[in-house]
A and B are shown apart, each in its own frame.
Chain A
Amino acid sequence: MNFIKETKKWYFIFLAVWTLIADVPFLFMLFTSFKTQSELLSGNTWQIPRQPTIENFSTVLEGNFFTYLKNSVIAVSISVVLILIISSMAAFAFSRFKFALNNLLYSLIIAGMAIPIHVTLIPIYVLTNKIKLYDTVFALIGPYVALSLPMSIFILTEFMREIPLELEEAAKIDGCSMFRLYSDILLPLSAPALITVGIYNGTYLWNEFVFALVLTSSPTRRTLPLGIWDFQARYGSDIPAIMAFLTLSLLPMLIAYIFGQDKIIKGMMAGAVKG
């Protein structure tokens, strides 16, 4: 019995140490964001601010912060809606119908999950320039949707295959069209998988960096991760302002996480489990 108690103490010590490692960077970020430049340079960097100031936050909000936020919301929400529509349509075809190319096309798309995005970067940059979408939020939507499709189609097809056939057979006898079958029967029944796919792609694209870096250039056209990058380049020496920017940029995800912790974690893992 003593042995168990002894180990339990070690559990807590270990977990407490890991809590420090995992979360102290966030405290540093938060504390620093309320400090003045002079307090940061004179005091201990890890200390609680003595005279908290919100000046750093107003510096950030007076800049382009809301523009970056708006661009992120536009790029991510349009992409996620398109991903859900297009991948569920394809998944419906793959999971419910027998046709000559079914297996071949499906395998090809699944193989797309393993493609390193960097091989597509230069050609997509060239293409985006050619079709005159360079440096617009819409330049991001094409690659965001296309590169998310293999994983999304895979998750949805596997889910739809588990839905019993009886339901649609009854509907077919009643003369239900293919489109009604998709929109009125398969889509509602796939809601849990659609939510997972939506969260997985939403969180991934919200933080996407390399395409936004290559396909946009002006501050008014960039998304939040690039906003951090630009702000850091401009205010490199004003560490408290940068920390305020980081704190604000974490807020949307933090709020989403507080409201849907389990769903978000499940969504984030969706891409990995079968990877």
Chain B
Amino acid sequence: MQRDKSAKLLQNLGLALFLAPALILIGIYIIWPIIMSFDLSLYEWDGVSPQKLYLGLKNWKDLLVDSIFWHAFGNNIKFIFLSIIIEMPIAILIAVLLDRGGKRFDAFKSLFYLPMLMSSVAIGVLFKYIYDPNFGLISGILSFLHLDSLNQDWLGDPNVAFYSVVAVICWQYIPFYMIFFIAALSNIPQELYEAAKIDGATQQQYFWRIELPLLTPSIKTACILSLIGSLKYFDLIYVMTEGGPSNATELMATYMYKNAFASFKMGYGSTIASAMFLIITTAGIFAYFVTRRKEE
């Protein structure tokens, strides 16, 4: 008995040692910052001075009537829909074509993956120059095709900039979803195709009757990934436009960054960050339950 007890104690001590590093780091860098963020949202603070001015819920009230924040939130929503509508069909189409081609199309796969190897910063900087209205790639191609009239200030015109940036983000993420769908397609049992072949199915029937229905769970997952990703997106937008011109490409994350680290309004920045946390967590939980209920 005594021996059992001390063995148990030794095991629990061991478990504590194995778990401690992970729990301490997660506590310091994830859990404490979340609590801290909500706490800071109640203050006015420049991030440097030792004194913080307690405001109560003033920052939150300001946020509710902050038209730039709601404009940014609207952009996030627009961004969700645009990226799902553009990325998913193209990614599915390419994945299906590559899957049907089998090994012969492996070279295409490698060529298509290239955008995934580049950092968002590198992509952002590259496309800033691709979009340059004077000596960028697009203006060069348009003038070669004698379509100079279509040339624009792609990132400088508030009516165009948002779509220009979204196009680049789609370019960046389509390869990712393409691989995602290729992996899902490779799980479809070969017998299904053979059975369909015997029944004399056409190429289109393969797609609508076999591939698309069997991809549906993956498409749902991909849409959730895209939804959450679009709500917290930052990198490329910040690199290409910093949210401008005149807030045309502002997202919640860029607005938060600018408040906290450019205007040194750490309190208000924390309010935006906390609001993002609430919005994204709610969206995540909602998405999780919607997909789960349908699976049951």
A143 to B26, CA, bound (A): 9
Evaluate whether A46 and B117 lie within 8 angstroms (CB atoms) in the complex, with A18-B94, A150-B26, A275-B225 already known: no
Stretch of A50-58, A59-67, A114-122, A193-201 at the chain-chain interface: A114-122
Report A's interface with B, CB cutoff 8 A: 3-4, 7, 11, 14-15, 18-19, 21-26, 28-29, 32, 40-41, 44-46, 85-87, 89-90, 92-93, 97, 99, 105, 109, 112, 114-127, 142-143, 145-147, 149-150, 153, 178-179, 182, 206-207, 209-210, 214, 224-226, 228-229, 232, 239, 242-243, 246, 249-250, 253-254, 257, 261, 265, 268-269, 272-273, 275
B135 / chain A contacts, CB cutoff of 8 Å: 40-41, 45, 239
Stretch of B32-40, B81-89, B149-157 at the chain-chain interface: B32-40
B189 / chain A contacts, CB cutoff of 8 Å: none
A249 / chain B contacts, CB cutoff of 8 Å: 119, 122
A4 to B221, CA, bound (A): 32
B34 to A149, Cβ gap below 8 A?
Answer: no
CB contact between A105 and one of B23, B116, B141, B276 (< 8 Å): that residue: B23
Report B's interface with A, CB cutoff 8 A: 11-12, 14-15, 18-19, 21-23, 25-26, 28-30, 32-34, 36-37, 40, 47, 93-94, 97-98, 100-101, 105, 108, 110-122, 125-130, 132, 135-137, 139-141, 143-144, 171, 175-176, 179-180, 183, 202-203, 221, 224-225, 228, 231-232, 234-235, 239, 253, 256-257, 260-261, 266, 269-270, 273-274, 276-277, 280-281, 284
B116 / chain A contacts, CB cutoff of 8 Å: 268
A24 to B144, CA, bound (A): 15
B18 to A11, Cβ gap below 8 A?
Answer: no
CB distance from B6 to the nearest CB of A (A): 14
B129 — nearest CB in chain A belongs to which residue? A239
Give 7 new A-B contacts, CB below 8 A, not counting A116-B280, A123-B36: A11-B100, A90-B21, A119-B37, A119-B277, A225-B119, A272-B180, A275-B221
A116 to B112, CA, bound (A): 29
B36 / chain A contacts, CB cutoff of 8 Å: 122-123, 126
Interface of A, helix, strand, loop or mixed by DSSP: helix
Q: List 26 A-B contacts (CB under 8 A).
A: A3-B203, A11-B100, A19-B108, A21-B171, A22-B114, A44-B143, A46-B141, A86-B21, A87-B22, A90-B22, A109-B22, A119-B37, A122-B260, A123-B270, A125-B47, A125-B261, A207-B119, A209-B234, A210-B235, A228-B119, A242-B129, A246-B122, A246-B126, A249-B122, A261-B110, A268-B116
B175 — nearest CB in chain A belongs to which residue? A22
A249 to B119, CA, bound (A): 9
CB distance from B141 to the nearest CB of A (A): 6
B114 / chain A contacts, CB cutoff of 8 Å: 22-23, 26
CB contact between B30 and one of A86, A120, A214 (< 8 Å): that residue: A120
Interface centre among A25, A123, A178 (most CB of B within 10 A): A123
